[in-house]
Amino acid sequence: MSDLSFVRQKYLNYFSSLDHSVVPSTSLVPDNDPTTLFTSAGMQSMIPYFFGLKHPEGKRIANVQKCFRAEDIEAVGDNRHTTFFEMLGNWSFGDYFKKEQITFIFNFLIKELALDPQNLYVSCFAGNKQLGIKRDDEAALLWQQLFASVGIKATIVEDPSLGMQAGRIFFYGEQKNWWSRSGVPANMPNGELGGPDSEIFYDFGEQNNDLTNKIHQQARPCHINCECGRFLEIGNSVFMQYQKTGTGFVPLSQANIDFGGGLERILMAYQKQPDIFKTAAFWPLIEKIQSLTNYSYKDATKQKYFRIIADHMKAAVMLLADGVVPSSKEQGYVLRRLLRRALRQAAYLNIKQETLVELVPVIVLLYEDCYPKLREQEQTISQLLQNEQLKFSKSLSNGLKEFEKISLQHNQLTAALAFKLYESFGFPLELSLEEAQAKALPVEENIKALYLKYQIAHSVSSKSVAKNKFKSGLADEGEITTKYHSMTHLLHAALRQVLGESVAQKGSNITAERLRFDFSYPKALTAIEKEQITNLVNQWIEADLPIVKETMSKKEALNSGAIALFIDKYPSTVNVYSIGKNPTGNKKGTDFISRELCSGPHVERTGMIGQMVIVKEKAVADGIRRIYALQKTS
């Protein structure tokens, strides 16, 4: 077992022994949450339970959550930033509070992982008189007692701006030790919840990033939140106990705990390794990249390229495993940006772009013990990566030549030129900015905002007026079209059963002559897969299963396991159509063959549809397939 797996399992076992129910990680793409593209913290799905809703697994919960933070893409390249990471989490919903939580996490780090307590430092909330929230002396005293139990005198520092002052417990204001989804209290809307927190830092005893010289040349005193790299935050206990109202902050009906600790960061402390890319979470990838190039990771001038490739390829594999496919929109655009940035770094290391797919088995091996579906999806993921690499490699060299011309002919990179590079060669704006930086080419002021205007204008001009569009992709609501529509729901369910639940509907068009169904999948279906899909649909049709319509709130529908395309376009009250029973159940735990939000008409029973035959299956975009199907006439 690798140290990565060891620390992860040690955490889950420890909190399980403390009567926590261990729940699985959710997808990197949040279910039914149109407000955010990715899951960036373990607590995202826990918010309702802080308000008093009962969690189905009880009041004590623990998990390890896959997370992705797109805002960190450009920061990757130093020794600690990554986009994909795992968050160790434990929660108490009105059960234990400060004393238990601080004791639990201290014992985990000191007793379970055997970290040296001399290397641990903590921060607490300094309070805010205007908010009516006192300084968190309770947490500071608890930490003092715990450090004293292992023979360490923990001095409290009230003003960290003066430096370490031989301290171990430091008070900071809301910029550092207050947590809410909206940041500091002043930014929180009414109704939002938050609370003071207590962060844990590990001391590596040396400065460990590029800011070191800059910071200490300015004679800025070092403290645990210093950016010099000496200290690394490895965990944060949030005391979730307040809600903002129009008249100020009021206590929630219950006091809650929300702990988050970066697995990779705790692993750095466990392995006493200040470079995250030298830990068990990344080193196998770095070694593989070294085997593809003549350069060594020891070469400080090349480390940035190694780090970006390792991080971006790992993140890309994890996103692909959760159903994201490269595209020009939303999650797909971020994935494409990751891959193309990784491919560009490969060129700096003289690595053939097509060989980056060789990193996939290394990533699968790292994570298959906790995410076993990775092994099942390995071939699909590799194929999608190969498709994207092939597509970009054809345009990269031409794009770089064009950029060379731009750098010679123009005195700056403008938004117009950057958008031209994107349109012609698929260069994301960020890649153009990196090339400009590498060539010391000045950049137009506010280039990102101006670039966005070009994108919007292009999008508007590209849209044609859609005609003959009806609900749920139906050309009309006649009898035969309605039968095809119900058949489409069965086809969607069959695709997910045969090909995997990462398959998602991407559109449909249904007429009285045939159905057309688009779905996410990276390669052509085999004859056996098409036969299995056809047989499943026809079995369900022959079984004459009931198709039941229910009207409910959108939230109730999604909580019941219903799936939906373009969830934000549905009103607050929706129709849910459920078909038959499925003994094996689906991922939400319901027992329907199909359960979808839908606004179109359906037949009452599957036996009214008529047997299905697939007449054509083809690609319509990267990672998107299309099926044409008919009712059998004989």
Contact 461, 485 (CB under 8 A): no
Q: Quick check: 620 pLDDT over 90?
A: no
pLDDT tens figures, 61-82:
999 999 999 888 888 999 999 9
- The answer to whether position 326 is within a domain reads yes
- The answer to whether position 183 is within a domain reads yes
Contact 235, 260 (CB under 8 A): yes
Amino acid present at 166: A
Q: Quick check: 463 pLDDT over 70?
A: no
Q: Quick check: 349 pLDDT over 90?
A: yes
Are 248 and 315 in a shared domain? no
Which residues, at least 6 apart from 299, have a Cβ–Cβ distance to it below 8 Å?
none
Are 304 and 238 in a shared domain? no
Contact 353, 389 (CB under 8 A): yes
> For tokens 């994909």, what's the residue?
84
Q: Of residues 278 and 373, which shows the higher confidence score? A: 278
Residues in the chain: 634
Phi, psi for residue 75 in degrees, rounded to 5: -80, -20
Contact 310, 285 (CB under 8 A): yes
Are 264 and 296 in a shared domain? no
Domain end among 392, 414, 441: 392
Kindly report the CATH number assigned to the domain that includes residue 226: 3.30.930.10
In this prediction, residue 634 has a pLDDT band, given cuts at 50, 70 and 90, of low
> For tokens 């022959």, what's the residue?
542
Are 130 and 47 in a shared domain? yes
Are 379 and 521 in a shared domain? no
Alpha-carbon span 357 to 381, nearest angstrom:
9
CA angle 63, 68, 73 (to 5 degrees): 150
Tokens describing residue 176 = 């550092």
Which residues, at least 6 apart from 21, have a Cβ–Cβ distance to it below 8 Å?
57, 58, 60, 61, 62
Query: Torsion angle, CA of 519/337/425/423, rounded to 10 degrees?
Result: 70
- The answer to whether position 421 is within a domain reads no
Q: Quick check: 25 pLDDT over 80?
A: yes
Name the helix (H) or strand (E) containing 435: helix 429-438
Mean local confidence (pLDDT), 115-127: 96
Strand order, beta sheet including 547-553: 547-553, 573-579, 594-597
- The answer to whether position 294 is within a domain reads yes
Q: Quick check: 590 pLDDT over 60?
A: no
Alpha-carbon span 323 to 519, nearest angstrom:
11
Are 482 and 567 in a shared domain? yes
pLDDT tens figures, 276-323:
999 999 999 999 999 999 999 999 999 999 999 999 999 999 999 988
Are 31 and 59 in a shared domain? yes
Q: Quick check: 355 pLDDT over 60?
A: yes
Domain extent, residue 535, equals 471-631
Q: Quick check: 9 pLDDT over 80?
A: yes
Which residues, at least 6 apart from 131, have a Cβ–Cβ distance to it below 8 Å?
185, 248, 249
Number of H helices, E strands in the chain: 18, 17
- The answer to whether position 411 is within a domain reads no
What pLDDT is attached to residue 475? Answer: 53
Alpha-carbon span 74 to 77, nearest angstrom:
8
What pLDDT is attached to residue 424? Answer: 80
Beta strands in 246-297 (DSSP E): 248-262
What pLDDT is attached to residue 6? Answer: 97
Burial (0-12, 13-18, 19+ Cβ within 10 Å), 634? exposed
Q: Quick check: 142 pLDDT over 50?
A: yes
Q: Quick check: 170 pLDDT over 90?
A: yes
Mean local confidence (pLDDT), 361-386: 92
- The answer to whether position 418 is within a domain reads no
Are 264 and 316 in a shared domain? no
Alpha-carbon span 500 to 504, nearest angstrom:
10
Burial (0-12, 13-18, 19+ Cβ within 10 Å), 274? buried
Mean pLDDT lowest for which of 109-123, 272-286, 458-472, 528-542? 458-472
Q: Quick check: 465 pLDDT over 50?
A: no
**Closest by Cα among 474, 489, 450 to 579:** 489
Are 301 and 200 in a shared domain? no
Could you tell me the pTM of the whole model? Answer: 0.72
Mean local confidence (pLDDT), 96-119: 97
Are 60 and 130 in a shared domain? yes
Kindly report the CATH number assigned to the domain that includes residue 482: 3.30.980.10
Average pLDDT of the chain to the nearest whole number: 87
What pLDDT is attached to residue 510? Answer: 86
Domain end among 241, 274, 307: 274
- The answer to whether position 408 is within a domain reads no
Alpha-carbon span 370 to 373, nearest angstrom:
9
- The answer to whether position 414 is within a domain reads no
Report the relative pairing of strands 594-597 and 573-579 from DSSP bridges.
antiparallel
Alpha-carbon span 150 to 133, nearest angstrom:
31
Alpha-carbon span 511 to 378, nearest angstrom:
37
pLDDT tens figures, 192-220:
899 999 999 999 986 655 555 455 545 67
Q: Quick check: 468 pLDDT over 70?
A: no
What pLDDT is attached to residue 72? Answer: 85
Contact 550, 573 (CB under 8 A): no
Alpha-carbon span 353 to 308, nearest angstrom:
14
**Closest by Cα among 627, 579, 575 to 601:** 575
Q: CA end-to-end span of the chain, whole Å?
A: 58
Please spell the DSSP secondary structure of 486-523, one letter per residue: HHHHHHHHHHHHHH-TT--EEEEEE-SS-EEEEEE-SS
Q: Which long-range contacts (CB under 8 A, 24 or more apart) does 255-258 make?
A: 255/94, 255/97, 256/49, 256/50, 256/91, 256/92, 256/93, 256/94, 257/90, 257/91, 257/92, 257/96, 257/97, 257/98, 257/100, 257/101, 258/43, 258/46, 258/50, 258/89, 258/91, 258/179
Q: Of residues 45 and 540, which shows the higher confidence score? A: 540
Domain end among 392, 410, 440: 392
Are 191 and 58 in a shared domain? yes
Alpha-carbon span 242 to 248, nearest angstrom:
10
Contact 421, 399 (CB under 8 A): yes
In b/e form, how buried is each residue of 202-218, taking b as 16+ CB within 10 angstroms? bbbeebbbeebeebeee
Alpha-carbon span 260 to 42, nearest angstrom:
7
How many domains does the chain divide into? Answer: 3
Are 268 and 325 in a shared domain? no
